[in-house]
Amino acid sequence: MSIELFNLKGKIALVTGSTHGLGMAMAKGLGKAGAIIVVNGNSSQQKIDDAVALYKSEGIHAVGYKFNVADESQVINAISDIQTQVGPIDILVNNAGIIKRTPLEEMEVADFKQVIDIDLVSPFIVSKHVVKSMILRKQGKIINICSMMSELGRNTVGAYAAAKGGLKMLTQNMATEWAKHNIQTNGIGPGYFATSQTAPIRVDGHPFNEFIINRTPAAKWGDPDDLAGAAIFLASKASDFVNGHIVYVDGGILATIGKPSNEN
């Protein structure tokens, strides 16, 4: 019985931005729990094809679709194709996002708007068009990938923090409006993870590496695979009465403003 609560066999999961990084880590978790993974990206078809091949090499049923999540017409066409060619989407993970590290007083308005469009507006666009089928079928799971910046600010990431703070509230409002249709909308807020993007700073002596290790009670960077459990939980029957919450997978960093337990 307990195993069945987390069984995603036959479920179709669209994971935006799932050709690499944390999006791929979460999608792999869903796939290994039995879900059919719809891989999305927008940079190139080759990158999508390579990602699909990687998923398949690990025994995961995966298909790929290239579209821009911030372009409503592309989203409408892609969702129509997915539902016709693969089937109705049971699980949506709004993961695609960007960050621009610029002090607010120096940031161009166009750059600020681009971050908001991709990190906040696109989850609204994709969810709006996926949820219609979920409402008709009276079931669905939507997982918005938030951030620790949904709760706090940090130098040079003002646009990202504004978007992720908004995404937290959008998640709660989606839950408010769609729970009556047996649709659960929740979020995951990743902490700092060991990925290819963070590799250059995860070296002994680097100030930011020391900062993360010293300020995280777990005293380490997260492993991308650590996100799989939260994704599976929020995508499965195990979370059928969980709605409007953000699960922070951060090693405890948001739990403390003082010295964490690993400091003397």
> Among all residues, which ones are annotated catalytic?
160
Residue type, 78: A
- Under 8 Å CB-to-CB from 208, ≥6 apart: which residues? 201
Q: Which of 84, 26, 3, 76 has its CA nearest to residue 225?
A: 26
How many CB atoms neighbour CB 131 within 10 A?
Answer: 20
Residue corresponding to tokens 């609204």: 124
Query: What whole-number distance in Å separates Cα of residue 168 and Cα of residue 189?
Result: 9
CA angle in degrees (0–180, nearest 5) for 32-68-43: 75
Q: Which of 165, 183, 197 has its CA nearest to residue 241?
A: 183
> Residue ranges of the alpha helices (H) in the chain?
21-32, 45-57, 72-85, 109-116, 122-137, 158-178, 207-215, 228-235
How many CB atoms neighbour CB 14 within 10 A?
Answer: 25
Residue type, 61: H
Q: Which of 21, 23, 8 has its CA nearest to residue 143?
A: 23
- The 8-class DSSP code of residue 153 comes to -
